[in-house]
Chain A
Amino acid sequence: METTKFKFNLRRFTFSALILYLVFLLGPIVGLDIPAIAASIKANPLQLVQFLIIGISNGAIIAIIALGYTMVYGIIELINFAHGDVYMIGVFTSLTVLSLTGTLESKDPGKIIFGLVLALVIAVVFCAILNAAIERLAYRRLRNAPRLAPLISAIGMSFIIENIGLMWAAQAWLVPSFGTTGGASQKSFPDMLGILFTSMGWDINLLASTGIALRFTIKDLLVIILAVTLMTGLYLFVQRTKLGKAMRATAQNRDAAKMLGINIDRVISATFLIGGGLAGAAGLMAGLYNNTAWWFMGFRAGLQSFTAAVLGGIGNITGGMLGGFLIGLLASFSDGYLNARWTNALVFATLVLILLFRPTGLLGEQTGQKA
């Protein structure tokens, strides 16, 4: 007995050592140059904290989008491929609202705050309706079709919405900063929060007075506060309200829920409405935080947040939040220490590894086998 145990450990040790050796040998090909990373952390440890802050803020946005994925998957077991693009439409909607209300040129704090709140409300409502409309048009009739039909339809919807974004980004009469170069290029989203707080006479960096060489801005704080508020609200909604209870029931067993008198169509529409609304809010936050608007931004954001949802355990709301923060940190460290060009591949590799080795995710109970 003893010997077998020892043998097992030895084999395991050799295996780990081999893997480690291969990581050291082949890692530099994909930018994973561990000695160089260690040296750069040693040289500037504060940078690590800085990447942590950026990662948490971006993770908050990813987490909110991930909630939309995880709720929809939980209730109808569909990867809503178009969800990332609904978020992109959220960015464009809020930018357009800010432009049309004249907020972009304004320096008056009151007017900016009014414009931002209006943009938030309109982006949330518009994206909620858009998401529900997608469900109504493309998914509902396929609810009893073979499993892959709605997924293919979702990919089609994603392409359609991306092209709507592409057209939108060419309309310089809506938003002057879209310019004359056509819709394909990345557009700037003005730093309204920076302008707001400078005009109010505040320093945007909260740590400026402490003398630490770090940036923790009001933007970071706002994004995190808004994200946590939305998540708590959603959690309470799903746990405490009647509609939330109906959602959980539908997710557990659609047929049984139907027999108990729950209107399935209404519950699913409500799920899409909430998911779309969250994506709209995330759109405004991401625009204000990262200051870019791009018709293709929904693809990367969508895949990052889908990975987050899978990492946390798809169908599990708490898991979606946790996964969002983790993926945000991963992306931020990869941008900082590896190279930004590898980040997408790294997120995908994470997704593949989770699906292969722990399809239930960190907190979930469903399995990939069920699919």
Chain B
Amino acid sequence: MMKIIRPGITFGIIGGLLTFLFGGWSVAVIGCFMGLGLGLGLAGQFERKNPLELVKSALPTALIAGVILVLLSLYQSSVVQEAIGKRPTAEEIVAKGNLIGFLGAVGFSLLLVALHSLPEKQEQQWKIAVLALVVITFPFVDQASELRWTSQIIFALIFVILGLGLNIVVGYAGLLDLGYAAFFAIGAYTTGILSSPVHNIQWNFWLVIWIAAAMAAIWGLILGAPTLPLRGDYLAIVTLGFGEIVPVLFKNLIDVTIKEPLTCWILPMFGANTTCIVFTEHFDATLGEKGISPIGRPALPLIAHGEPAGAAMTIKIVIMLVAIAILGYLFWRAWSSGNRKPGVMAGFAGALAAIFIFFLPIPRTNNTIIDSVLGIIQPGEFESSRPVTWYFLIIGIILLSIFIIRRLRDSRLGRAWMAIREDELAAAQMGIDPVKTKLLAFAMGATFSGFAGAFYAAYIRGIFPSVFDFSASIIILCVVILGGIGNINGVIVGGLVLMTADRLFLPALKDFLAAFLKTTILPSISDPAVQLAVKDNANPILYRFLLFGLTLAIMMAVRPEGLIPNEQIRAELHEKEAVAEVEAPKSKKGKKG
């Protein structure tokens, strides 16, 4: 019984304490997410049986979690809020929020548990459907409840892509890359240089994002090639070196002078009188610490209302026709080969709709509801003040990345990566080319950080070299390690947990602590110097890297396989314990290698 109830208590207390920090409507949103997490966690613990029995056995846990959440949340709105001197929330919001939170926590967890009665494949599909619903509705709920989390969640999603890319290198191919932020920087700077007025090149975002990804991939090959003979921590240190050199280059390429040496120095040394050929002189390529800004933003549709007919428009129309032609060919092939499943057909319909949304400007009506829906489908140029469009763009990029990475993982190449990870020598003997395989791991991993870099540059509208230093590489590594090395779902969860903790939890905690200290401890301190010291030190944002350091150290000590582990890697990590149990009398051999 305790085993079933304990997760309910834990989830309830964590969720309830979170409402202390955010207040207002947050209890409703937190309740729903809590229900999702609880349901996903609980479902695996039961046998497959009929839904009513499943719900019955999970009911106590869900109820306990919901009740604890609501009790803590009510305590927050009645006592804590007053104690820290915050404006009290309207009673209507408190009542509705707690009701929705309770129903969300209980409903979602019971729904996911009940789904466990279905066969495994159907259960997966239903779970994905529920998650998709949550993902799609989240930004609107967020907007309605005035929590304003979406713009921060977008940062978490950027790190999810980065984590997915690094996961290819670290998780699949087993190469510890400590300089992954270098490729993030290359993607971002490619975007910055190609789409900002600084160098008078302002290309379209939809083109630049592919160039950024390709550029990152090429540099993945170039920086990966020298590291091929190295293994283990030497490889890690060399990648760290590249990761440090790249941002330094971006920071310092502010005064580039290239002169042809023969004509400028060598021949004049022998007395020849030549004119010096100068390629560039004092060229400011990256603007150093100031960074590149503003950077162009993406726009939908590609062909705007009233765009003059010309070369640009012709190219766009040609691209659209080519896309439709490719889609049509694929459709014809699927149709004629008898692959007429409803899922496949829906996919084709969706792709066709996407092409039209991308290219055809839909005229606006005067109806507010229709126009607001159109504003999401075809927002025109993406605005920083409307995070919803950015949110769906990054969700799209993540879905594309997941699709590509899953296909890669199950392909011949993906299996070659894992073989290299397990034993490079044996893999080479079996006919896998280690050079090609490792280089492709670096290149593919870098590609996704190119996507992330391009999105980041366009979203922030400016890039600065200090963003991409060693700590960025370590944050991405943290995401992978916290979630689970080698597991796509794990990396997504890791990225969301870690970055929401960094972006949402820490600032809220800072405000909470400041208000709390102001009303409780600070007035009782008479010495102004000590008062100031206490006030300044209670700032968790200053020490945000402690979060990442602790994550790495604690995960390595307690659960090196991550929150949602890859089965194979977990088995390997605990191999020694299993062996030790079986062969207890034999002395353990310290393995090196």
Residues of A within 8 A of B (CB): 21, 24-26, 28-30, 35, 77-79, 138, 141-153, 155-160, 162-163, 166-167, 170-173, 180, 182-184, 254-255, 299, 303, 306, 310, 339, 341-342, 344-345, 348-349, 351-352, 355-356, 359, 368-371
Contacts and interface: CB of A to CB of B under 8 A. Distances in A.
Contact of A170 (B245, B536, B576): B536
Contact of B252 (A172, A183, A341, A359): A341
Interface size class of B (residues with CB under 8 A): 35 or more
A163 B474 CA distance: 15
A182 B546 contact: no
Contacts of B553: 138, 153, 156-157, 160
A115 B257 CA distance: 51
B29 to A, nearest CB: 31
A125 to B, nearest CB: 24
A167 B537 contact: yes
Given A172-B533, A182-B536, A348-B242, 5 more contacts: A29-B257, A155-B474, A159-B471, A159-B552, A170-B536
Contact of A166 (B259, B543, B572): B543
B547 to A, nearest CB: 9
A166 B533 CA distance: 14
A308 to B, nearest CB: 13
- B471, B552, B592, most chain A CB atoms within 10 A: B552
Contact of B232 (A29, A147, A299, A339): A147
A369 B549 contact: no
Interface string B172-185: 00001010000000
B208 interface: no
- A30, A143, A352, most chain B CB atoms within 10 A: A352
Contacts of B557: 138, 141-142, 153
B473 to A, nearest CB: 10
A170 B248 contact: no
6 contacts: A29-B256, A35-B265, A79-B237, A152-B176, A355-B237, A371-B232
B551 interface: yes
A25 B229 contact: no
B265 A24 contact: yes
Contacts of B199: none
B44 interface: no
Contacts of B364: none
Interface string B452-473: 0000000000000000001100
Interface in B123-156: none
Nearest to B259: A28
- B241, B256, B550, most chain A CB atoms within 10 A: B241
B529 interface: yes
B552 A166 contact: no
Chain A to chain B: the 3 pairs with minimum beta-carbon distance, closest first: A159-B549, A156-B552, A156-B553
Interface of B: 176, 178, 226, 229-238, 241-242, 244-245, 248-249, 251-253, 256-262, 265-266, 470-471, 474, 477, 481, 529-530, 532-533, 536-537, 542-543, 545-546, 548-554, 556-557, 560, 572-573, 576, 588-593
B320 to A, nearest CB: 42
A145 B256 CA distance: 47
B549 A299 contact: no
Given A166-B543, A341-B252, A160 B549 contact: yes
Nearest to A164: B546
B588 A144 contact: yes
B549 A144 contact: no
A25 B258 CA distance: 6
Contacts of B241: 348-349, 351-352
A156 B536 CA distance: 25
B234 A371 contact: yes
A158 B549 contact: yes
A356 B226 contact: yes
B245 A160 contact: no
A163 B553 CA distance: 14
Contact of B244 (A24, A254, A345, A359): A345
Nearest to A29: B256
Contacts of A30: 249, 252
Nearest to B575: A146
B474 A79 contact: no
A301 to B, nearest CB: 14
B590 A352 contact: no
A159 B545 contact: yes
A144 B591 contact: yes
B556 A371 contact: no
B590 A143 contact: yes
A226 to B, nearest CB: 29
Contacts of B236: 79, 148, 151
A29 B556 contact: no
B99 to A, nearest CB: 41
A306 B236 CA distance: 13
Contacts of B259: 25, 28
A28 B244 CA distance: 20
B237 A351 contact: yes
Contacts of A21: 261-262
Given A145-B560, A368-B234, A371-B230, A163 B549 contact: yes
A29 B230 contact: no
Contacts of A149: 556, 560
A341 B248 contact: yes
Contacts of A183: 542
Contact of A153 (B249, B537, B552): B552
A176 to B, nearest CB: 11
Given A24-B265, A35-B265, A167-B537, A79 B233 contact: yes
Nearest to B176: A148
Nearest to B174: A148
Contacts of A348: 241-242, 244-245
A138 B552 CA distance: 10
A180 B533 CA distance: 9
Contacts of A156: 548-554, 556
